[in-house]
Structure 1
Amino acid sequence: MHAHALLALGLLHGALAAPANTRAPDVVSQNGYRSAPYHGPYSGTPTVLGAAKASKTLAPSIAPKPPNPTATYYNAAGVPTQPMPAPYVPAGGLGTNGTLPRYMVNSDWDFESIALGVYQEYIELDLFHDGLARFSDDDFKAAGIGPEVRSLIEFMANQEVGHATLLSNMLGEAAPKQCVYNYPYRTVREWLDFMQRLTRFGESGVWGFLSHLDSREVSQMLSQSIAIEARQQMVFRQLAGLAPMPVWFENGWPQSWQWTMLAPYISSCPAGQTRLAWQNFPTLHILNNPNINRVDANNTRPDGSEQAGNRITDPSSSNVTQGDACMTANGIGKNCQAALARNRTEPLSYPGKKVYFSWDNPGQHVGPNNSYVTSTTAGQPKFVGWSNQLNLTYSPLTVTGQNRGWTTQPGGMVFGDDGVINDTMAVMLTDLDLFVTPFNTTMLNPHIVALGLYQAG
């Protein structure tokens, strides 16, 4: 495709990118590459409540169906079975018939998914800058973060300018704008931990909907940005002293999971802001979520007090006594300062670990201007779902009181010695142990009682 084609196709304003001999397109407005002047909670009264809705909803949920009747291709001989449309071009593929690409969303599914991505890019843009502005040189030095690493984080923040510009241009004038945010962290360690959690639900949320987009052109562009997001998440894990990539496969999540985790950190948005259609689930609080700042995370108190707040993806509290803190510990397997790779003698979690929960009732006001409302269509919780790698694994929930209970972390392997549960991962309470696979995980949404984020490794 000629370089000028991107400028001419499917754009309501701006451009995806500019060829070398033209002026670079304008980027999204974002406080001059700086953190927003205010961060904190919203104190006003919402004028609109709930997610964006269409005039008609066809059914309470999507009914399971057998495989697509066109999914019949099988090649036992290993050679092309159909005439080739051109030399060296096997038959099949989407968007391979010579049609001119159109880099715009092509359905409500596309629009709502990419709009969610814009919200995500904007909070990352602000968050990365905010910590750099908030903490002193001495704070960074104590956390093992030197000026070159801070320069890298600054560069990653500026990457989000490009990502927000790209996605906004594929939406047009209705693209969401940058908002005001309310962050939970108090130290550099907590900032790093929060960033690795936030980039996890940002990355996994895109993997979940990427292959479902109606516009293959949009999917191509988004793939090229989420490749960067994955690298950011790995870098923040390294800076937090975690293993950089402790899984063989990265997990994909439905949009409503991502929005549930993102919305509580948005305080307010500009008037007329585009609203999202995705669901906000009640929060699942993991009371002994492993504290990454301990030498032995198994000593995390089981009362929820070792998170730096009460929201769904708040970081581990860095307020750990010196004898228990891994930042000042000596020796391989104990120290957790920033490094290319870290192994822990005592793992953050393990099969058989007793995990304690409490969960919120639906009806909580969250998100921009407190204008979204948490909801669930599920019945009473009976199972804990663990979404990781290629699996959705269930364990039985033992209810011990009003909105309280526990389960045992399951074991098992994906392939070989690759444990089925690891990494920063989604955990949920469900009323049914529904069988789902990576391509249809959204089928589980009507059965989710509450959603949380578990720091498994």
Structure 2
Amino acid sequence: MLRNALFLSLVASAAVFAAPTPAPVTDTDILQFALTLEHLENAFYSGGLAKYDADAFEKAGFAPWVRGRFEQIAEHEASHVKFLTTALGDNATKPCVYDFPYDSPESFAELSMALESVGDAAYLGAAHLVSDKGVLTDAASILSVEGRHAGWVSASVLKNQPWNGPFDAPITPSGAFSLASQFIKSCPSTNPSLPVQSFPALTLTSSSSGSSISPGHSVSLDFDKRPANASVAWLSGLDVVYSDLDGSGKTTVPQGLMGTVFATVVSSKDAPPSDANMLSGFAIVQIPFDSRAANA
């Protein structure tokens, strides 16, 4: 089950996303970035709801209104696609061919939580790249809805916490696309290249069989080309907490992490994770907490 510890492998996808050379990021790039994510979410909800009807959700133990709310979220994502497509006109990115690994209404709900969390973090991470304040306002309007989606799925559907803390975590466009790209099989050749880099896939697993990933526990990290003296950066809200990666590829999850946390391997602790110091893509980890947990 994904509910207690959700790890999304990061797939290198230069053929789908990566720009051939670094270039200044424009507002058009950011809108194409956003539309690529919205196409993915739109396909996820439309496909999942077509596969699982109301009876399937009820047999899975969900209240009747749960699927109805997912239908509303699907309408939101379709509206985001229409809005961004209109804004971009001839420059609009086209939808790709997707493959989502849900096999039940439960796994559909759990993956929904992950995608909404990535969407929220991606919009936050791209905000500083936007120059037009009108575009920034439009993006913020979508961002807040993505955050509400994630909170509702977490609390009302999965019965976990409704928020992470006082702040959400921003992640880089490259990190966000690495997370999203695992669900993309192919894209139209006419789609514009996006100014992101690809990174080796990162997988986290508990070092103790049967244990969940939680603060204070040892985890094993698996990714290509692991160098010496690397560290793990854990993004929790606006904080970045580091842990050392030993020679066997293990690290200890820092104390104090709760809710949705993003992890990546970096070459240096001197600056927040960026394309310049990241050695892997991001992994997303869900660390549930109850109402008795200190949330500071």
1:147 aligns with 2:64: yes
Corresponding residue to 1:182 among 77, 99, 121: 99
Shift, 1:136, TM fit: 4.7
- Contact 2:27–2:130 at 8 Å: present in 1 too? yes
Once residues 133 and 160 of structure 1 are traced to their aligned partners in structure 2, the CA distance between those partners, rounded to angstroms, is 15
Q: Identify the residue that residue 434 of structure 1 maps to in structure 2.
A: 270
1:287 aligns with 2:197: no
Normalised to the residue count of structure 2, the TM-score between the two structures is 0.84
Compared CA separation, residues 358 and 390, structure 1 to 2 (3 A): same
How many Å separate the matches in 2 of 1:204 and 1:50? 18
Q: 2:216 aligns with which of 328, 352, 355?
A: 352
CA distance in 2, matches of 1:409, 1:236: 25
**SS of equivalent to 2:62:** coil
| Partner residue in 2 for 1:453 | 284
Aligned amino acid, residue 221 of structure 2: F
- Note if contact 2:169-2:235 (Cα within 8 Å) is conserved in structure 1: yes
- Decide whether the 8 Å contact of 1:379 with 1:447 is kept in 2: no
- SS of 1:445's equivalent in the other structure is coil
- Identity fraction in percent: 23
Equivalent position of 1:388 in the other structure? 236
Secondary structure of 1:272's counterpart equals coil
* Structure 2 unaligned residues grouped into runs of 5+: 1-12, 289-296
Contact kept, 8 Å, 2:19 with 2:197, in 1: the verdict is no
2:163 to 242, 245, 269: 245
Instruction: For 2:53 and 2:28, locate their aligned partners in 1 and report how far apart those are by CA, in whole Å.
Output: 40
Does residue 108 of structure 2 align to residue 191 of structure 1? yes
1:52 — aligned with what? 19
Matched residue, 1:135: 52
Q: In 1, Cα distance between the equivalents of 2:253 and 2:40?
A: 32
Shift of 1:215: 0.8
Aligned partner of 1:215 in structure 2 is 132
Q: Aligned AA for 2:34?
A: G
1:187-213 CA-partner distances (Å, limit 9, x unpaired): 211111111111111110101121331
**Contact 2:98 2:183 (8 Å CA) reproduced:** yes
The whole-number CA distance in structure 2 between the counterparts of 1:158 and 1:381 is: 47
Q: What is aligned with 1:108? A: 25
Cα distance change of structure 1 residues 189 and 399 upon mapping to structure 2, 3 Å threshold: farther
SS of match in other structure, 1:449: coil
Q: Among residues 420, 423, 439, which one is paired with 2:259 in the alignment?
A: 423
How many residues of Structure 1 are paired with residues of Structure 2 in the alignment? Answer: 273
CA 1:49 to 1:159, structure 2 compared with 1: closer, same or farther past 3 Å? closer
State the Cα distance separating 1:379 from its structure 2 match. 5.2
Distance 1:407 1:148, change over 3 A: same
Cα distance in 2 for residues equivalent to 1:427 and 1:214: 28
- The answer as to whether partners of 2:164 and 2:237 remain within 8 angstroms in 1 is no
1:381–1:449 CA contact under 8 A, matched in 2: no
On the 8 A contact 1:384/1:395 being kept in 2, the answer is yes
* Secondary structure at the counterpart of residue 206 of structure 2: coil
Q: 2:252 aligns with which of 408, 412, 424?
A: 408
Deviations 1:285-336 (A, max 9, x none): 01139xxxxxxxx8635xxxxxxxxxxxxxxxxxxxxxxxxxxxxxxxxxxx
Alpha-carbon contact 1:429-1:448 (below 8 Å) kept: yes
Match for 1:241: what amino acid?
K
Distance in 2, matches of 1:261 and 1:159, equals 21
Quick check: which one's helix share is greater? 2
Corresponding residue SS for 1:398 = coil
Contact between 1:383 and 1:432, CA under 8 Å: does it hold in 2? Answer: yes
Q: Which runs of 5+ in 1 are unaligned?
A: 1-45, 59-106, 290-297, 302-347, 362-377, 412-418
- On the 8 A contact 1:351/1:409 being kept in 2, the answer is yes
Cα distance in structure 2, aligned partners of 1:188 and 1:399: 40
Q: How does 1:118-133 map to 2 (within 5 A)?
A: 118-133=35-50
Q: What SS does structure 2 have at the residue aligned with 1:429?
A: strand
**Structure-2 separation of matches of 1:147 and 1:116:** 34
One-letter code of the match for 2:25? D
Q: Report if aligned partners of 1:170, 1:218 keep a CA contact under 8 Å in 2.
A: no
Distance 2:76 2:227 in 1: 42
